[in-house]
């Protein structure tokens, strides 16, 4: 593995970046695998690894059909919190760098495991962004036979009773603050804090399907135990199975622990790709080829814009003070 970009030797860091830039400028087909670490600088938690809990629950145990069937109010509170957080976050420089790369490179595809909508808000071209795990802001009927879907619902809260409590006197809540909320993304009590009592929400007050009028709506994300969307997989497979080689694969902010996304790196290698990993965890570079690959250790929002600068320029020039692209 090439020396990490977090190394103390500035000459080594510069040489590695120069080597990467040389290959980047020669690359014609590029694929990127994006994980939750891409949005970490925007203030959104990854819910994986150390600290991956929501209240006292492993967040991955909440994201299941079984959890929704057993306690839909609790699952909706978790997702309403995530929707609220994502809507109050802003895309960071890494989101904009990838969006600019997609605009400037004809044969580029980003495979995103993120559901937060930040890549879309950075104006990443939809045809070059494949959402492997769905979208927090898409809603669908929990009864698959009904088939109702509602794309891009950004109402916050999705129904009034899921509003983030503002105080212990909120008439819809029983939450009591025990310490001040310091998270700028949360306007109200931080209900992820287990010291705050969650409001009691009757199932009848949760969002219901307007089509069948009997089943609950659920977030349009892929839960554990569910299949990835077939149309998305078909588009991804078409990119990988094309006769042309793949020159470069970017792996940004993900441990590549969840399949099938985790297998795409090897598929890209089999098509000739060199791999560049961007991750704050030093262990994320262990599986890289020491002669061909690069490992850039650190914050994607700081590192990725510099990595992609030869093709995208200075992305700060396309971000206004509100965090939106011109």
CB 276 within 8 A of CB 268: no
CB 293 within 8 A of CB 276: yes
CB 41 within 8 A of CB 94: yes
CB 36 within 8 A of CB 221: no
297 is in an annotated binding site: no
**What whole-number distance in Å separates Cα of residue 89 and Cα of residue 120?**
13
Query: HSE on the CB side for 44, CA within 13 Å?
Result: 27
**What whole-number distance in Å separates Cα of residue 310 and Cα of residue 142?**
46
Give catalytic status of residue 133 as yes or no.
Answer: yes
**What whole-number distance in Å separates Cα of residue 254 and Cα of residue 285?**
11
Tokens 């059909």 appear where? Answer: 65
**What whole-number distance in Å separates Cα of residue 112 and Cα of residue 254?**
10
Among the listed residues 95, 133, 196, 208, the single catalytic one is 133
With CA atoms as reference, report the closest residue to 123 among 305, 313, 324.
324
Neighbouring residues of 205: CB distance < 8 A, sequence distance ≥ 6: 159, 161
**SS3 annotation, 248-284:** EEEEECCCCCCCCHHHHHHHHHHCCCEEEEEECCHHH
> Binding site: residue ranges?
141, 146, 209, 212
> Binding site for Zn(2+): residue ranges?
141, 146, 209, 212
The catalytic residues are 133
């Amino acid at each position: 593995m090439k020396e990490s970009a977090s190394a103390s030797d500035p000459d080594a860091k510069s040489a590695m970046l120069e080597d990467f830039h040389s290959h980047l400028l020669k690359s014609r087909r590029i694929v990127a695998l994006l994980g939750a670490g891409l949005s970490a600088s925007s203030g959104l938690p990854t819910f994986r690894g150390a600290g991956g809990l929501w209240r006292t629950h492993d967040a991955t145990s909440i994201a299941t059909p079984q959890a929704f069937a057993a306690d839909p109010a609790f699952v909706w509170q978790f997702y309403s919190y995530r929707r609220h957080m994502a809507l109050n976050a802003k895309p960071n420089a890494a989101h904009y760098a990838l969006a600019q790369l997609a605009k400037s490179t004809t044969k580029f595809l980003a495979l995103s495991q993120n559901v937060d909508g930040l890549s879309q808000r950075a104006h990443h071209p939809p045809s070059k962004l494949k959402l492997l795990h769905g979208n927090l802001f898409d809603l669908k009927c929990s009864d698959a036979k009904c088939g109702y879907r509602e794309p891009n619902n950004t109402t916050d809260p999705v129904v009034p009773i899921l509003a983030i409590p503002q105080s212990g006197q909120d008439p819809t809540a029983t939450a009591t603050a025990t310490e001040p909320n310091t998270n700028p993304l949360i306007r109200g009590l931080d209900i992820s804090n287990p010291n705050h009592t969650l409001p009691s929400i009757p199932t009848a007050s949760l969002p219901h399907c307007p089509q069948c009028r009997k089943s609950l709506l659920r977030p349009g994300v892929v839960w554990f135990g569910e299949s990835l969307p077939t149309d998305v997989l078909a588009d991804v497979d078409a990119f990988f199975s094309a006769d042309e080689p793949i020159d470069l694969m970017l792996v940004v902010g993900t441990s590549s622990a969840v399949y099938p996304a985790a297998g795409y790196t090897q598929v890209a290698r089999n098509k000739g790709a060199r791999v560049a990993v961007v991750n704050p965890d030093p262990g994320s570079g262990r599986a890289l080829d020491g002669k061909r690959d690069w490992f850039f250790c650190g914050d994607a929002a700081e590192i990725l814009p510099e990595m992609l600068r030869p093709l995208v320029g200075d992305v700060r020039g396309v971000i206004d003070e509100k965090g939106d692209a011109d």
